[in-house]
Amino acid sequence: MTNNNKTTAVIDVGSNSVRLMLPEKDGVNEKKLNTTRLAENLSLTGFLSDAAMTRSAEAVKEFYAEAQKSGYKNVCVFATEAVRAAKNGNDFVALLAQSGITVDVIDGETEAEIGYLGAAGKTKSASVFDIGGASVEVVCGIDGGILRKKSLPLGLVRLKDLLGSDEKVIENYVAEKITQFGEFGKSEVLIGIGGTATSVAAMLSGEKVYRAEKIHGKTVTLEEIVALRREIFDRLGNKNLSDAYPVISPARAEIIAHGVIVTENILRYLGYDKFTASETDNMEGYLLRRQ
């Protein structure tokens, strides 16, 4: 996506992380991230905790101020599954409103749509999946048109809270729930967006330091995902995955095993033997949808 004018910055309030995008050049936009775990214990209580809301609100305010200081005239803030699903989601919106920040709480179908727009654009024939902290979105598009989009509450923070870290328990749960996606058509390519897809690609790249330009466009095969799953559960066990794979953060390492299982199940369910990791995602898509 191209945006050469410092007009609009975007903040994504996700279930696992808060992200800031300051679009200012051609190619892959740099994104800053603060892992705040807004959805922590949401699946167990139905509520966002005061601590999680405070952490996330502070991250939003810091990013908002940074965007303004960097010269962006507008700063858009949108929130996804954690806020829309929580019984007290409006409290989080109100918390930021006290600082003059408006939060757009988008629904699951819109989240799926903007992920597709950001990764596949308006012309490419592709299917897109996005594994987040509280939900997973899948979109099928053919010749620039979206044929089907669906969001399910299968995010990784949710799975960790509900199921712990036992491989068989996670596998059985995901394999059962993923059928709720229903029937999807098959596009020319499958694109993975979000922290899980890019982290899996980064772990398989052999890189020690995360560099978006190295990950964007990387192909990951189903065979590689299966091998990574076995490496995590059979060889590494309870070891800190960020020590074995320094390219991912300690916070991401806590949930990446769940993410590998979900990724494998998505590819098998949709009938693909590989996916392409994309650093352009729902943040670029949110801007496109506003145009």
Domain stops at, among 42, 70, 105: 105
How high is the pLDDT of residue 1?
42
Give the residue among 12, 15, 79, 14 at the shortest CA–CA distance from 43: 15
The total number of structural domains that make up the chain: 2
Domain shared by 272 and 243, yes or no: yes
Domain shared by 23 and 85, yes or no: yes
The reply to whether 66 falls in a domain is yes
Domain shared by 133 and 201, yes or no: yes
Tell me the whole-structure pTM to 2 decimals: 0.90
Length of the chain, in residues: 291
How high is the pLDDT of residue 186?
86
Strands (E), the chain: 8-13, 17-21, 31-35, 74-79, 104-105, 126-131, 136-142, 145-152, 189-193, 219-221, 274-277
- Segment 38-80, tens digit of pLDDT: 999 999 999 999 999 999 999 999 999 999 999 999 999 999 9
**What residues make up the domain containing 161?**
120-282
Give the residue among 282, 262, 56, 268 at the shortest CA–CA distance from 158: 262
Domain shared by 130 and 153, yes or no: yes
Contacts of 81 (CB under 8 A, 6+ apart): 15, 39, 108, 111, 132, 133, 134, 135, 151, 153, 155
Per the CB < 8 A criterion, the answer to whether 18 and 283 are in contact is no
- The CATH number linked to 88 is 3.30.420.40
Domain shared by 179 and 60, yes or no: no
CA distance from start to end of the chain: 13
The reply to whether 3 falls in a domain is no
Domain shared by 90 and 146, yes or no: no
Give the residue among 31, 43, 44, 238 at the shortest CA–CA distance from 133: 43
Domain shared by 141 and 215, yes or no: yes
